[in-house]
Structure 1
Amino acid sequence: MSGANVYDVIVVGAGSMGMSAGYHLAARGLKTLLIDAFDPPHTGGSHHGEPRLIRHVYHGGAHYVRLALRSDALWRELEDRTGEKLLERSGVLNVSDPNAYAYDGRFADADREGIRYESLDAADIERRWPGWTVPAHYRGLYEPDAGYLFSERCVAAYRREALAAGAELLTDTAVLGIETRRGGGLAVKTSRGEFAAGKVIVSVGAWFNTLAPSVKLPIRAVRKVVGWFEADERLYRAGHLPGFTFGGPEGGYYGFPSIGGAGVKIGRHDGGRPWQPGERFEPFGFYPEDETDLRAALRAFLPGAEGRLLHGAACKYELSPDEQFIIDAHPELPGVLLAGGFSGHGFKFASAIGEALAEWTQSDIPPPDLLPFTLSRFPSAAAASTP
């Protein structure tokens, strides 16, 4: 294949995972085209609204821990190359009802990798961070070397690095379908014409079903909200309060200290309202529970942060049936890699997953730490069908 519209690799979806993959592909010398329906970083997915937690003592298995550590190293490398602050080591405090979320299974992986952590009881937490109110039977897990990433800066930094490495970026362009070409390779049909490549990576977040029937994944899109609340800066300011998660029968929540007086940011991991591309996407505040749910959680655990609502935002989650990632070869289109189901806990891994997707694309061998994310674990998932 040759020509102006022919590439080694096309990346469909240039958000967090796609933009990282685009950089790693171009840095390997592959002629790379990134295509996005918006102009990243943007508000059409789930990477806007800034900070995202990065933790290392992770649930789900040793492969997550290794990916988290590799991601951390790659974020630091990106900081060094760009000279931009992307990662704040605020520490992360996880607080939970042990009947709902237990930490014991994570400690062996953490010990094996030499990750620092502290196991705390409720009294330890309240003494160390007086802004917390914690039920007596709850437990805490504190990681001093964890923190948060400035997500929009990260995507923007990878965009600059990808373009500097020779990648091309086509923004505000809808992808209409992917199919095999009669002469070999793959054709990506878009609102701006057709492009060809030997390999294609698809990572379009909540927009996967817009690619049917070329691509079908068992991913559901969910509307999620976050809010920033006025807080007692003595107790909840950045530099004092770490990033945090807490969970129990009331649900699972995550959040961040007040950065520069912006207020404590809080969101809920579970729940949310179903949404599909093409439907109206309501802004924060449209539903009463957008604010009241977050406020109730603050009142229970961080009462000094339940002040005036300063800002709210809504974003689009993409969730697999088991809420773990899907990273696998397309079952019917040779040369196509699918990567989705990242929302809720994926952003921190974007640097390492982008690198791994580039490695897989170049070698045709899946990296070992991506093997648990196979599509085949959902035997009832509808197989993708070509047009």
Structure 2
Amino acid sequence: MTIRPGYDVIIVGAGSMGMSAGYHLARRGVKTLLIDAFDPPHTEGSHHGDTRLIRHAYSGGPAYIDMAKRADVLWQEAEQETGTKLLVRSGVLNAADSAVYSFAGRLAEAERRGVRVERLDAAEIRRRWPALNLTDRFEAMFEPDAGYLFSERCVAAYRQLALAHGAELRVHTPVRKVTARPGGVTVHTKHGEVHGAMAILSAGAWFETLEPYIHLPVRAVRKVVGWFESDSRAFDAGSFPGFTLGTEEGGYYGFPSIGGAGLKIGRHDTGQPWKPGDKLEPFGSEASDEGDLRRVLERYMPGAAGKLLRGAVCKYEHSPDEDFIIDRHPQHDHVLVAGGFSGHGFKFSSVVGEILADLVTDGRSGLNIKPFSLSRFDRPAQPDAGLTLEGIE
């Protein structure tokens, strides 16, 4: 019996990457179905918590920088199409103890790719932002054109645009399994089967639910962020930038206080393992939830180490090298896979969606996605390079 596909493309997982892909496909006239176990934007994945950094200066070759620059253009277009403010150019201060990290490689790559960056010593950091308590060992790379995205707004904007261009969205529809045949894909959901000519799997921290059909070498971990009261306006939006902070205590990232919400800070490294079906323990379940964040604030930003105003929990889905996975299924060319975004992928979701749409409609992307192939994990693992601030959100 021949099964006729009902859709050109079925997208499994309609979070930041999937929703963006749905928009880019639908606007090209591709009959697209988006399926999500929840109702995006939601709090069960990796895109909630108000804000995400957008930066353009990455190391490890030009692929990330070119993607970041294109992502920025696409976020601006989404703002214009929806009339919704998505991006704030607060600047991003990337500061680190020189004993644990050097910005030399990133500065050189950024300059080669036309990204505006400034190298600052500790004295200049303290002059510009006196509320920072950094020793002379610190140095920084400041990106004046960087900033932050309003993450839930971004997902909602792409949902609005995808539906306006004719995409369909099924929410509260968990996917049980995916099967493929020559020329088609069947997605088995809680509410029945749907058929498509192609599929995009962008299930985030929930990829394990799609095994054994696809196995990605990713591990999901529980992550926390907190918003803290400050004792001055020095940490307010408009005065203070987004930031990353490389310290002896670990790698951290954060945002200014937006509308009095408090300075937001999270830790990029560490995290408790999580897998689908596990309970995601709320903020405060572990003493380290607030303790790790407060310890760093008290040492480096004492004026922002006030009362905890709010805490939140989300998930990272780490690949072994913290680089993305954007590729075709190893056995099925008509199934695309996008995952392993490792806590720094959100800023790229606008362009990842475009890349996936290009792979569907053109068979290729104009951007270099070779570093994100699944086949790289067939090679022997490389030794741990230590703290890599380019991987911080």
Q: How far off is 1:220 after superposition?
A: 0.3
Q: Which runs of 4+ in 1 moved over 4 A?
A: none
**Which sits farther off after the overlay, 123-132 or 56-65?**
56-65
Counterpart in 1 of 2:189? 190
Q: How far off is 1:233 after superposition?
A: 3.5
Q: How far off is 1:112 after superposition?
A: 2.5
Unmatched 5+ stretches in structure 2: 381-393
- Contact 1:9/1:31, CA 8 A, preserved across alignment: yes
What amino acid is the match of 1:66?
D
Counterpart in 2 of 1:296? 295
Q: How far off is 1:366 after superposition?
A: 4.4
- Contact 2:67/2:367, CA 8 A, preserved across alignment: no
Counterpart in 2 of 1:257? 256
What amino acid is the match of 1:264?
L
Counterpart in 2 of 1:147? 147
Q: How far off is 1:113 after superposition?
A: 2.8
Matches of 2:282 and 2:227 in 1, distance apart? Answer: 15
What amino acid is the match of 2:101?
Y
- Contact 1:233/1:261, CA 8 A, preserved across alignment: no
Counterpart in 2 of 1:384? none
Deviations 1:248-288 (A, max 9, x none): 32100000000001000000000000011111110000111
- Contact 1:360/1:367, CA 8 A, preserved across alignment: no
Q: How far off is 1:380 after superposition?
A: 7.1
Counterpart in 1 of 2:348? 349
Counterpart in 2 of 1:46? 46
Counterpart in 2 of 1:331? 330
- Contact 2:32/2:167, CA 8 A, preserved across alignment: yes
Counterpart in 2 of 1:199? 198
Unmatched 5+ stretches in structure 1: 382-387
Residue correspondence of structure 1 range 97-176 to structure 2 within 5 A: 97-176=97-176
- Contact 1:233/1:258, CA 8 A, preserved across alignment: no
Counterpart in 2 of 1:316? 315
Counterpart in 2 of 1:94? 94
Matches of 2:94 and 2:300 in 1, distance apart? Answer: 12
What amino acid is the match of 1:123?
A
Q: How far off is 1:209 after superposition?
A: 0.5
- Contact 1:206/1:317, CA 8 A, preserved across alignment: yes
Matches of 1:39 and 1:10 in 2, distance apart? Answer: 17
What amino acid is the match of 2:88?
E
What amino acid is the match of 1:170?
R
Matches of 1:321 and 1:99 in 2, distance apart? Answer: 24
Matches of 1:213 and 1:113 in 2, distance apart? Answer: 40
- TM-score under structure 1 length normalisation: 0.95
Q: Secondary structure at the match of 2:161?
A: helix
Q: How far off is 1:300 after superposition?
A: 1.3
Q: How far off is 1:2 after superposition?
A: 8.2
Q: How far off is 1:127 after superposition?
A: 1.0
Q: Secondary structure at the match of 1:278?
A: coil
Matches of 1:14 and 1:278 in 2, distance apart? Answer: 19
What amino acid is the match of 1:148?
Y
Counterpart in 1 of 2:27? 27
Q: How far off is 1:28 after superposition?
A: 0.8
Counterpart in 1 of 2:373? 374
Matches of 2:10 and 2:33 in 1, distance apart? Answer: 5
Matches of 1:373 and 1:31 in 2, distance apart? Answer: 27
Q: How far off is 1:232 after superposition?
A: 2.4
**Which sits farther off after the overlay, 167-176 or 334-343?**
334-343
Counterpart in 2 of 1:227? 226
Q: How far off is 1:133 after superposition?
A: 0.7
What amino acid is the match of 1:106?
R
Change (3 A) 1:222 1:164: same
- Contact 1:12/1:202, CA 8 A, preserved across alignment: yes
What amino acid is the match of 1:286?
S
What amino acid is the match of 1:225?
V
Q: How far off is 1:196 after superposition?
A: 1.0
Counterpart in 1 of 2:386? none
Matches of 1:271 and 1:222 in 2, distance apart? Answer: 8
- TM-score under structure 2 length normalisation: 0.94
